[in-house]
Structure 1
Amino acid sequence: MGRPRSFDEDEVLDRALTVFWDRGYESTSVADLERAMGIKAGSIYKAFGDKRSLFLRALTRYLEEGYEGITMHLVGASGPGEVLQRLLYGIIDSTQGCSRAGCFAVNCAVELAPHDDAVRTALGHHDGRMQRLLRGLIERGQAAGEFTPGSPDSLALQLRLLINGIQVEGKKQRLDVDTARLAVDDFLGRLRIPN
């Protein structure tokens, strides 16, 4: 019988996520993970498996928590248009931190998804959930007469592309919040039926 774990698994997983997010998968060494997580390699391997397994757990955690955060924009909104505005403004605001880490999911899509089936699958699952959520908001807005007619799938994809663009641009340079919000308002203005 082994010794009981002397660490909180979620806490050390969050620390590993931070390292992967800052450095990328390829540039992160096991020594980097040991330092950040505050545990030895043997404990990492025993709790999470190899570096790749740890990375996939961290990515899954990030995607789950991110999706939960996104769904919080649904609470208390007066309608689909307000939900989308809150969501997009929130993404703009998230780019304003002192770090240029960008969106971890977007970083993984660029660094790993082209040649890693497991990463591509995890990101594809997340993209599918986002597509369904956004399509549902579009359909609700169209049914309520708030949004113009059009393909809900196409409009949801446009929104996902806008979200990814905001995240990439925010990693590249500090976004001017007012200008970015004007761009969001312009997009939403074209989506809404004029009063």
Structure 2
Amino acid sequence: MLERSLRAVWHPCTQMKHHETLPLVPISRAEGVWLYDFEGRRILDAIGSWWVNLLGHGNPRINAALRRQLESLEHVMLAGFTHAPAVELSERLAKLAPGRLGHCFFASDGAAAVEIALKMSYHYWRNSGRAKSGFVTLSNSYHGETLGALSVTDIALYRDTYAPLLRASAQVPSPDWRLAEPGETREEYARRCAKALEEHFER
């Protein structure tokens, strides 16, 4: 299967030359937090298969809900249509974010959600009569690998190759205390980061 995979699958975030020293791991099944290879060895899926399986693989409650939904409606676009599951989920989420955040826009993945958020922000300011199109992001932040998401990502490994295609964005220090200067307390570092953000918006 490894040879077939290398011939047919374009593996993301992977340099092909690395397959020679770090071969792909073929997975036969998954359960809970564990992945199993074809020899039955368990591998802890500590990243939730890229943050997708946060409640575990093969979660019985989720699988049962999926089966029930597939029996009646597996998918319909929300442009010009609506359906009860989308409305009910939107209402439940709106209760968690009261005030003006009363609507949900559904995206297929994290990078698409970032793209949509960038467009919504731009559109808001355009409709307000102020064509603001700049974005501020935290240093060393990751937001996805589509072009808009990469534009607000600050990790050279992902950005540099595509730099000519990306929009410029401003970076301010991340309040991650691990990035503080030696001897700087958490509070001191947080205040320094907040000051940098304030200074950026005052310019």
TM-score by length of 2: 0.29
TM-score by length of 1: 0.30
Q: Which has the higher contact order (CA 8 A, sep 6+)?
A: 1
Bigger Rg over Cα: 2
